[in-house]
Amino acid sequence: MSSEDFKPFVPAEQKMAEFTIKSILLGCIAGIIFGAATVYLALKAGLTVSASIPIAVLAITLGKRFFKTTILENNIIQTTGSAGESIAAGVVFTLPGFLFLSVSESRQSTGDAFFNYMTILILAILGGALGTLMMIPLRKSLIVKEHKNLPYPEGTACASVLEAGEKGGNFAKTAFWGLGFSLVYALLQKVFHLIAEAPTWATKQANKFLPSAQVSGEITPEYLGVGYIIGPKIAGVLVAGGVLAWLGIIPLLATLIDPVIAAKQLIKLGMLADITKPGGVGGWDPLTHTFADYPRAIYQAFVKQIGAGAVAAGGFITLLKTIPTIVSSFKDSLGSIKNKDEKAEVKRTERDLSLKVVALGSLALIILMAILPQIPGDSIVNKLIIGLLVIVFGAFFVTVSSRIVGLIGSSNNPISGMTIATIMGTCLVFIAVGWTGKIYEPMALVVGGMICIAAANAGATSQDLKTGYIVGATPKYQQLALFIGAIVSSIVIGVTVRILDTPTTEMLNQGITHAIGTEKYAAPQATLMATLIKGMLSFNLDWQYVLVGVFIAITIELCGINALSFAVGAYLPLSTTLPIFAGGAVKGIVNWREKKKTKSAEEEEIAPGNLFATGLVAGGAIAGVIVAILTVIPSVNDNLGKVNTETFLTQILGDGGYQLLGVIFFLIMAFVLYRISMKKQEEL
């Protein structure tokens, strides 16, 4: 079907309420909620899931039922809200890297001063605006002309949800069940501690068969939901990387490496103050020259750098595989801009914001980056070069991102690979003009961060525009909604990042001033970006460990397996990937039991299991953010300690019994997910 033959759900000549105050307000609320939840999930697991479907479900339930919204207003709600999730992903994947740049003489990161609320807010808004701006001239070529060739799976599924809701479809009930179940589970786990947070099995260093091996799992609802959504194949590859790291590499290194060597490596990385002082990562004891948690010490000292090399290589391989798509999509986009007929009569469903908005917006972005004091750089010239690099890389990778998500969906968008390529290109430009050393590292991260945010937002924007094209929305109203959603969501994203970064009393006692970067919030992608920048500009990277990871990724790719998923699994703690694998296993069992052929994207996205799983993800992540906020307030944190049942249960059941109880609760939740997944929508 050509674009001329396509008929949207709402005809172009039909007038209907669309860009209204209530639709924008409801969309902003959704963006705030899912933006905060995405920050939490991305910091912990380095993963995100598309918020478009759950927001569309909420729109047809709350909007249509209580605010009498039309299908086009519901589309604006979904469009505005989805900006929060995509911008949050871009922010968390890069900007915490400020904390992990080269350390100054005062033992602080050279980027520490830039990891503040205003800088995060400004970069989030500018990056989000860049992604939307660059998509304005691309909509006609990628969404309209390529309608038959680029399915944009999440966008098409969203349109199906909105249309079904208009016809009376009942989807939200299952998602709300998942949300409620998840909140209750999280309350029992994070507030009352009736459920252990991370049951762990570990061998001793003296074990001659498998020394310092460790198997653990953060048995949370959001991880189970994420695993179900991404499916058994990706979840299996993800956990495989963790198995190699925690049951292979760590026991091997624990056998070969003296603890003193590991301690010296931690000192070099800034994770241990001095070899004569106790504490630090892993609990160093200077008297006995041992660690209280040797697997963790080995992981932080060596395995994370191996994992970083693997993730970098995996992202770059993914990017190389898409080069034909990159070249063709960029050519098509330039051609569509040249052939645009401004004089033709424009129907409602074809009205975009003017190209003048793109030109003036890009110029304004460069000027703002040059004059704002929150942007790193010691002169206006420095900042102008940063701004120009952002526009050049942004125009290129926004096109790439949009084309790729049109084929494989936003969840599989290789944003990390694009960001890695941007950072490497930026660093090479810096080296060419003689900008080497620690002071230029924050500037390189700004370029990478803004491109990551822009590419992530462009992917989500493309899905939204596809939804709008199918249902018959007005493109310029969607584009305006995306700008609004980006600004409002960015306000809350910055607050959420700063709250989650607040260290606990225990962390402060260990000399840890940032919660981000610890096992609580690993921020794997951001750590990788900082590692690359340091390696290229300061020449202080431990290449021997990084190259091990590079060749692991190459080996996995040669075996026909997605190297990036495996590499992320090797980089993350096994406690993160194991419960995700459990969710993928549930999905695998459901698929096996159904004994059906492959379903279409629309059917898959709105199936009961997926809706319940999105509820688990949203509920668990929201509960995590709320508890994190409460623990920052000293008086509330003290009261939370009074309702903690962990000590009482451990006394009765023993430490092993208490952890086993947590596993039982997690299995019950997995069984509930399985049972709901096996039911038809009409049975619920």
Task: Determine the length of the chain.
Answer: 684
Q: Give the β-pairing of 214-216 and 290-291.
A: unpaired
pLDDT tens column, 339-390: 554 445 678 888 888 888 888 999 999 999 999 988 888 788 888 988 998 9
Q: How confident is the model at residue 430 (pLDDT cuts 50, 70, 90)?
A: confident
* CA-based nearest residue to 538, from 387, 376, 382, 430: 430
| CA 160 to centroid of chain Cα atoms | 25
- Over 80: is that where the pLDDT of 397 sits? no
Q: And the tokens for 6?
A: 């396509």
Distances (CA, A) of 347 to 18, 353, 476: 16, 13, 12
pTM passes above 0.75: no
In the prediction, which pLDDT does 607 show?
75
Burial class (CB in 10 A: 0-12, 13-18, 19+), 94: buried
pLDDT tens column, 459-472: 888 889 998 998 99
Contact 135, 398 (CB under 8 A): yes
Q: How confident is the model at residue 149 (pLDDT cuts 50, 70, 90)?
A: confident
C-alpha dihedral, 569 to 572 to 577 to 578, nearest 10°: 110
- Over 80: is that where the pLDDT of 298 sits? yes
SS3 for 471? helix
Average pLDDT, the chain: 82
Distances (CA, A) of 65 to 61, 125, 137, 168, 442: 6, 32, 36, 11, 48
SS3 for 81? helix
Q: What is the DSSP letter of 291?
A: E
Long-range contacts of 498-507 (CB under 8 A, 24+ apart): 498/116, 498/117, 498/120, 499/625, 499/628, 499/629, 499/632, 500/39, 500/40, 500/43, 500/625, 500/628, 501/96, 501/115, 502/628, 502/632, 504/631
The rounded distance, in Å, linking the Cα atoms of 433 and 573 is: 39
- Over 80: is that where the pLDDT of 409 sits? no
In the prediction, which pLDDT does 343 show?
47
In the prediction, which pLDDT does 632 show?
63
In the prediction, which pLDDT does 34 show?
83
Q: How confident is the model at residue 395 (pLDDT cuts 50, 70, 90)?
A: confident
The rounded distance, in Å, linking the Cα atoms of 51 and 27 is: 12
Q: And the tokens for 33?
A: 């909620």
The rounded distance, in Å, linking the Cα atoms of 562 and 269 is: 30
In the prediction, which pLDDT does 602 show?
41
pLDDT tens column, 471-499: 999 999 999 999 999 999 999 999 999 88
Long-range contacts of 340-346 (CB under 8 A, 24+ apart): 340/137, 340/140
SS3 for 185? helix
In the prediction, which pLDDT does 660 show?
94
In the prediction, which pLDDT does 195 show?
92
Work out the percent of the chain whose per-residue pLDDT is above 90. 23
Work out the percent of the chain whose per-residue pLDDT is above 70. 87
In the prediction, which pLDDT does 1 show?
46
pLDDT tens column, 86-141: 898 889 888 998 988 877 666 677 788 889 999 999 999 999 999 999 888 888 87
Who has greater pLDDT, 551 or 323? 551
Who has greater pLDDT, 242 or 206? 242
Rg (CA), the chain: 25
Give the residue-averaged pLDDT of 243-253: 93
